[in-house]
Amino acid sequence: SGLSGVTAVAGGAYHTVALKSDGTVWTCGRNHASQLGDGTNTDRTTPVQVSGLSSVTAVAGGSYHTIALKSDGTVWAWGYNGYNGLGDGTTTNRTTPIQVSALSGVTAIAGGEYHTIALKSDGTVWAWGSNAYGELGDATTTQRTTSVRVSSLSGVIAIAAGYFYTIALKSDG
């Protein structure tokens, strides 16, 4: 309701994310972990604009967090951060977007249950957050508070994330 000019959409566990052609992000749904990014924890039945975010080119939803990619290649996240899915070096939930630490040159993003994935322009994949099942691909099960490169993986052209796993498509098919 009330949205037009939408160019991309994404879903989380209980929330929806829409990217408009003007580079703004709009969200609705459950907001108990601030995953709507409007500065509150209030559930919304109609879309609200994410606070302080512009020039966005892609959006992704984790279960209880949301991710945005800006045109300058930086990644921004908000919502639940108990397992470090926001990549800011803390476990503090964020009610509005914060920039993911030490990450640039990103061309694609994906959100899993409690982890986040980024594809850089050089074909490398970076991940952070929960790693209980090895979903970060760094050959450990250690939770990461900031981004780490996925081990032994290059030439990637697309990424996706599931509940406790990550998928990468290489340029060789």
| pLDDT on residue 147 | 96
DSSP summary character for residue 50: P
**Whether 60 contacts 109, CB under 8 Å:** yes
pLDDT tier at 96, thresholds 50, 70, 90: very high
Q: What is the pTM of this model?
A: 0.97
Whole-angstrom distance, CA of residue 43 vs CA of residue 36: 8
**Chain center to CA of 139:** 22
CA distances from 30 to 11, 13, 172 (A): 11, 9, 40
Work out the mean pLDDT of the chain and round it to a whole number.
97
| pLDDT on residue 93 | 97
Instruction: For residue range 34-62, list pLDDT tens digits in order.
Output: 999 999 999 999 999 999 999 999 999 99
| pLDDT on residue 140 | 96
Instruction: For residue range 97-135, list pLDDT tens digits in order.
Output: 999 999 999 999 999 999 999 999 999 999 999 999 999
Q: Report the chain's C-alpha Rg in angstroms.
A: 15
Run of H or E residues at 148: strand 144-149
Signed CA dihedral, 23, 24, 30, 33: sign only:
positive
Percentages helix, strand, coil for the chain, rounded to the nearest 5? 0, 45, 55
Q: Which of 11, 98, 1 is nearest to 50 (CA)?
A: 98
| pLDDT on residue 141 | 97
Rounded to 5 degrees, φ, ψ at 126 are -125, 145
